[in-house]
A and B are shown apart, each in its own frame.
Chain A
Amino acid sequence: MKILVCISHVPDTTSKINFTDNNTKLDANGVQFVINPNDEFGLTRAMWFKEKQGATVHVVNVGGSETEPTLRKALAIGADEAIRVNATPTDGLFVAKQLAKVMQDGAYDLVIAGRESIDYNGGMVPGMLAALTNANFVNTCIQIEVDGNNVIAIREIDGGKETLKTTLPLVIGGQKGLVEESDLRIPNMRGIMQARQKPLNIVEAITASNEMQTLSFEKPAPKGAIKMVDAENIDELINLLHNEAKVI
């Protein structure tokens, strides 16, 4: 089985988000970039398929050269090869079209992406990729087993979960549950050394038009001060929630 894991290169959750160029671009100054958390769960699940079922695991990112340390980290965790599509990702469909080309050229059976990236939160790339390649698609996937061509996947739904049966080729939008937080791997020295020798192939982007364009960003208005209520005065809290906040 050939697995492609899509890796988004995103600001760490604890980063302060600021914009430059008249609020049109993310200010990367002082921002620590990491593997998108939803993708990291998927990558770790892919390692399981590699170790238990002999799968080949490639990782891919659509981005500039600044994303290479993130791809190297994925290689250090255990992926066999990395691909970087050399382009500035402009919108979800643009990225999905680049990934579709990679998926078809590499004849991958299973593509594991995260349900959304924690930067632009679009949550659209995995589904678009599936639609473009006519692959099956399972979103918010929290468990996956592959037996030959057959797949059993569990998806999180509002208020529960659903067990689905389908076949390869398949794209999933994965999240926590594919593996647990405690199963995530921190690259060890051996992995980091090996990662330097592993192929990181740069491919040129295909032409794709922009379906949409972000014009500017804005930060939310600062939050008002908290109102503290004395622990002995619960009635006051109920009064505030009822008369001021009007939520009960």
Chain B
Amino acid sequence: MSVLVYTESDRGKLKKVALEATSYANAVAALLGTTVTAISINGGDVTELGTYGASKVLQVTNSSLEKFNAKAFADVIKQAAEKESAKVVILTSSANSKYLAPLLAVNLNASLATNVVSVPESVSPFNVKSTVFTNKAFAFTELHKEIKIIELAKNTYGLKENQTSVSSEVYEPHLEDGDFAIQVQSVDRATDKVTIADAEIVVSAGRGLKGPENWGMIEDLAKVLGAATACSKPVSDMGWRPHGEHVGQTGKPVASNLYIAIGISGAIQHLAGINSSKVKVVINNDPEAPFFKAADYGIVGDAFEIVPKLTEKLKEFKANNA
């Protein structure tokens, strides 16, 4: 009857979103009067899950699951849910979790709620709050099926410690050839950069930068802040920056703590993709740029003067607050 949480890892290390999902699972379990079991696939050291409220971890170590495979991973989570008789399964909103969630929902005959932003409003009936219309509204939805899967929107619940004594169990699910009908041929990933999905801070720039040769100062600012770099759609369409950096409605969504937009006017399609970020800073030389209406802090001025200055000041700040 426990709440099952799939705690994602990346190359043998638990992801931060997995800890947030565990914190959230702990709150749901409290509402249901039960405990949290985590399922970890090649996750390495999982003791940290106890800090956030997991009392049991099913640990799968299997070389055929080294690369992510949505069908196989969904199969593993399904078997774990059945073993634990879990009625609620918690997932994150990472690209991989979003990929496997609908497969899992069909296999478990479950109701699936995505983009959920808070603990259930009630558990009987089971009602959740989620974002819809690309963050322009919230929906309150009742989940009818006996088993519910909740995809928690990133950076909405946060990390909440609840030190629990955690036991770890080696778990060997049964995998079939059919689970591997899709094979990964290659993975192309920048290993030295913070990804937009995982970043706490995102530094993003637009057409106001005038050309790809001017991105050095954006990268410098991102480096000081430990931030990911992103860009607006025109910038990726013109080939100034790779497509993977495009954030907005048709690009990647951003849900960081801090989003700094430099030389981006703030078209509605752009805002739709970034408005779940908590704090937004805009630097633009046009005081009429629509982004100023959607931001928390703004500076009107020349990015080519302000950004290097901001980077220098932040270096001092970091040195003094280290």
Contacts and interface: CB of A to CB of B under 8 A. Distances in A.
Contacts of A242: 317, 321
A53 interface: no
A229 interface: yes
B134 interface: yes
B185 A165 contact: yes
B296 to A, nearest CB: 6
Given A124-B114, A229-B297, A237-B299, A92 B102 contact: yes
Interface in A192-248: 209-220, 223-224, 226-231, 234-235, 237-238, 240-242, 245, 247-248
A132 to B, nearest CB: 6
A226 B237 contact: no
Interface of A is mostly: mixed
Interface string B226-255: 000000010001000001101001111000
Contacts of A139: 70, 95, 98-99
Contacts of B298: 226-229
Nearest to A230: B299
Contacts of B249: 13, 37, 118
Interface stretch (A42-50, A56-64, A72-80, A173-181): A173-181
A179 to B, nearest CB: 12
A145 to B, nearest CB: 12
A32 interface: no
Interface in B292-316: 292-302, 305-306, 309-310, 313-314
B39 interface: no
Given A131-B107, A247-B201, A13 B272 contact: yes
A121 interface: yes
B99 A161 contact: no
B138 A218 contact: yes
A132 B317 CA distance: 55
A74 to B, nearest CB: 18
Contacts, number: 259
Interface stretch (B20-28, B49-57, B125-133, B164-172): B125-133
A139 B95 CA distance: 9
A166 B113 contact: no
A216 B132 CA distance: 11
Contacts of B237: 180-182
B102 A125 contact: yes
Interface in B178-192: 181-190
B159 interface: no
Sorted nearest first, the 10 A-B pairs with minimum C-beta distance are A127-B102, A160-B189, A159-B195, A231-B301, A131-B106, A158-B197, A247-B258, A139-B99, A124-B102, A166-B182
Interface of A: 11, 13-14, 17, 19, 37-38, 41, 92-93, 96, 118-128, 130-132, 136-140, 142, 152, 155-167, 175-177, 180-182, 209-220, 223-224, 226-231, 234-235, 237-238, 240-242, 245, 247-248
21 contacts: A92-B102, A93-B106, A96-B106, A124-B101, A127-B70, A127-B99, A132-B106, A136-B182, A140-B99, A158-B198, A159-B189, A159-B198, A162-B187, A163-B188, A177-B243, A212-B145, A216-B139, A219-B137, A220-B136, A231-B300, A247-B257
